[in-house]
Amino acid sequence: MIASIRDLRPGDLSDAASVVRVRRAVLPFMISTAEDVAYALSCAHPASHHRVLVAETPGGEVVGTAETGIAHDSPEPGQGYVNVYVDQAHRGLGAGLLLLRTAEEHLAARGTVDAYAWVLDEPAHRAFAERRGYRPSRSAHFLRLDLATTALPALPQPLPAGVELRPGSAFADDPRPLFEADAETMADEPGDIAAEFDDYEDWLRHTWNSPSLDKELTTVVLVDGVVAAFTLARTDGATRYASGMTGTLRAFRGRGLAKLAKTASLHRARTAGYTEAFTGNDAGNAPMLAVNKGFGYEIRATETRYTKRLMKQRAQQRAQERTKERETA
């Protein structure tokens, strides 16, 4: 039996480690560290109303978690998110339902119109979402590469004229060019929530200063001194490496520069001792899927994006609140 739903304790790395344990049990293809979870909560934008919820047993064991909040950078108000994870050994005891209900109440109270959720593409997970009014929209894949044994493409020798490779650390004094590249490429990424990616300070907090961002393995391609492509590298500091975002600016596409950035980064990751590499692709992003399959990445799991209209639910909640007010008047 689940005793309670509560918020993650800010700054408590032991509590954050419990969240990571559950997330990894559900999605072993996702890089997550206790430092990252605690940091993301501590620096969340106030307008995001970001919360990390945990489900506890009476004995204090964390068996489920959810992250929820408002897409504050969307030009369309009322967009929210909720992602629920429950340890398989504790499913069917109500933890997922309580986490989802708490998150939806949090979103509805802040005027959320649509709630978006990523759901593992398995019958039980899909059925859970659909019974609660969520409807599927698009899918994305988790991919894994055995970095210890897979033969990687060789780096071209020499590089094409005018092309240079730099680590992300080379931009430590002024990372704005990377922010601008990230903003342009993110604008072209498939998605169901539009975002105005124009807050440099917020990007510094959430991307550049993230504990899991490895600035040495992050790789940037320059063409005639201008940032043309990049891959952001995230690690768990032990054996697991992930491509956080790989992109090419519009003016430089079609020249294989994203593949060049990933090739260099993967070679350096292997040299640094990382043995597993992970990445994610929208199911409809055929060009990037082809690039990753060329490296030897294999699809290991699929998630489906689900959405639910909360506006009606909020109206019902307000009606119930008004009824209670009349009863106590």
Q: What is the pLDDT of residues 54-77, one digit of tens each?
A: 999 999 999 999 999 999 988 899
Q: Does residue 134 form part of some domain?
A: no
Q: How far apart, in Å, do the first and last CA atoms of the chain sit? A: 37
DSSP result, 242-276: EEEEEEE-GGGTTSSHHHHHHHHHHHHHHHTT--E
**What is the distance between the alpha carbons of residues 236 and 258, in angstroms, rounded to a whole number?**
23
Closest Cα to residue 98, out of 110, 86, 111? 86
Residues 276 and 320 grouped into a single domain = no
State whether the Cα torsion 258-261-265-267 is positive or negative: positive
Q: Does residue 121 form part of some domain?
A: no
Q: Does residue 133 form part of some domain?
A: no
Q: What is the pLDDT of residues 272-312, one digit of tens each?
A: 999 999 999 999 888 889 989 999 999 999 999 999 999 76
Residues 89 and 167 grouped into a single domain = no
Q: Does residue 259 form part of some domain?
A: yes
**What is the distance between the alpha carbons of residues 87 and 216, in angstroms, rounded to a whole number?**
34
Q: Two tokens at 69?
A: 């909040």
**CA 102-103-106 angle, 5° bins:** 90
Residues 43 and 81 grouped into a single domain = yes
**Domain of residue 321, CATH code:** 3.40.630.30
**Position 176, amino acid:** R
Burial of 285 (0-12, 13-18, 19+ CB in 10 A): middle
Ranges under pLDDT 70 in the chain: 1, 190-191, 312-329
DSSP state, 216? Answer: T
Number of separate domains in the chain: 2
Domain of 152 in residue numbering reads as: 144-300
Residues 291 and 320 grouped into a single domain = no
pTM above 0.85, yes or no: yes
